[in-house]
A = this chain, B = another copy of it.
Amino acid sequence: MDLPRSPLAQPFPDLPAIEGVIPRVARARYKEWDRCDLTVIEFAEGTAVAGLFTKSACASPEVDSGRAQIGSGRARALVVNAGNSNAFTGAAGREAVEQIQAHVAEGLGCAAHHVFVSSTGVIGVPLPKDKARAGVAAALEAEPCDWLEVTRAIGTTDTFEKGARTSAFIGDTRVELIGIIKGSGMIAPDMATMLGYIVTDAAVEPALLQELLSAANGASFGSITVDSDTSTSDTVLAFATGAAGNEPLTGHESPGCDAFASALRDLCDQLARLVVRDGEGATKFIEVRVSGAASDDSAHRVAMSIANSPLVKTAIAGEDANWGRVVMAVGKAGEPADRDRLAIRFGGVEVAREGRAVEEFDETPVARHLQGDEIIVGADLGIGDGSARVYTCDLTHGYISINADYRS
């Protein structure tokens, strides 16, 4: 299936090399294709690592392993396999992961538990060990490559390469942060797990890196939805080499910690938005803003209820200011709400207020807003101070075509 490039695609940014990081790619040929599909990224000794993993109860062996490894706080390598997720493959899948870890550990002269592995692709087929072995061997001997090549090698059904960069000053030291990500549904037919990798040359203690990454997650990766489905393999890893030479960040009181945390949050936000922009069949990027809720958590659940509603998503696909569907989605969220205080906005225009339609509202700017490709849906619950913002995309014939018309 050759998918057209998303109309919401953005150009791949110019991502700098990060000191202490050597990416390489190779052809393992996990599928019948002629492209690099195995990535090995080598990190300098002492690189700190932090991670976020799927909440799925049926996670892949890569995720099981990653969860167990992350506690050590140190990484020497990352391996990404594209074309086979190795999920739901029993003992054979676990063995494939262990073989890759041992192979890379031997090649780089490091501990196997410092080698992280991710896989994305078809579920239920054990990752073929022979292809993995040949691919890892080829990657270990390959010339280093750039981030665009890595992003292509980790992609599956992605229709464009997704990367982002930012920087921060820690004291007088400028540190770089770059990120790449793949994914176009929460999961999809054979593929489309979300895998994101963040790399920085900053020196950050692992425990703090984990804390900052977890804090950034809620408003970024935790606030996007394409189709409400959750992959068995979703993973975000952040690696900090320390090569920039800044005074290491050890806690919130470390000078520059706020700047670094802010940059990391910004990077996660950029990456999360890119995944939604490549959402299967997406033609419009939708930001759902909920305010006036009982709490921020409550606002988040209401926002996700709106963002996951097939009727809201199809209305926006049809450029229809159908605020009744937004009311419905607020009502079904199971959160505190008062029908007679609720207000709904499209773009900047309030279309419903205090439990009924705003009779005099001007439809022209609403129609113009809905014809664009970046839509803002606002709901103010009018009962508290809680707020949240989530990103999603519209639901179109393209989604059905990708997921029903083609067979795996």
Which of A's residues lie within 8 Å of B, judged by CB?
54-59, 87-90, 92-93, 122-126, 185, 187-189, 227-232, 308-311, 314-315, 317-320, 322-325, 327-340, 342, 352, 354-357, 394-397, 399-401, 403-408
Contacts and interface: CB of A to CB of B under 8 A. Distances in A.
Query: Taking each of A320, A334, A352, which has the highest tally of chain B beta carbons within 10 Å of its own beta carbon?
Result: A320
B56 A227 contact: no
A314 B356 contact: no
21 contacts: A55-B334, A56-B331, A57-B333, A58-B330, A88-B352, A88-B355, A89-B355, A90-B356, A123-B324, A123-B325, A123-B328, A227-B310, A228-B310, A229-B325, A232-B327, A232-B331, A314-B399, A314-B404, A317-B404, A318-B406, A395-B400
Given A56-B328, A87-B324, A89-B356, 6 more contacts: A58-B337, A126-B356, A228-B308, A229-B311, A229-B325, A397-B404
Contact of A355 (B90, B227, B311): B90
Given A229-B311, A230-B332, A336-B57, A404 B395 contact: yes
A214 B399 CA distance: 37
Query: Taking each of A331, A334, A357, which has the highest tally of chain B beta carbons within 10 Å of its own beta carbon?
Result: A331
B328 A232 contact: yes
A314 B309 CA distance: 16
Given A231-B328, A400-B397, A406-B318, A58 B342 contact: yes
Contacts of A323: 124
A292 B147 CA distance: 46
A54 to B, nearest CB: 8
Query: Taking each of A123, A185, A336, which has the highest tally of chain B beta carbons within 10 Å of its own beta carbon?
Result: A123
A37 to B, nearest CB: 19
A332 to B, nearest CB: 4
B400 A317 contact: yes
Nearest to A226: B310
Contact of A310 (B54, B317, B399): B399
Please name the 6 residue pairs, one residue from A and one from B, whose CB atoms are nearest each other, closest first.
Answer: A123-B324, A58-B331, A56-B331, A314-B403, A230-B332, A90-B356
A309 B229 contact: yes
Contacts of A123: 324-325, 327-328
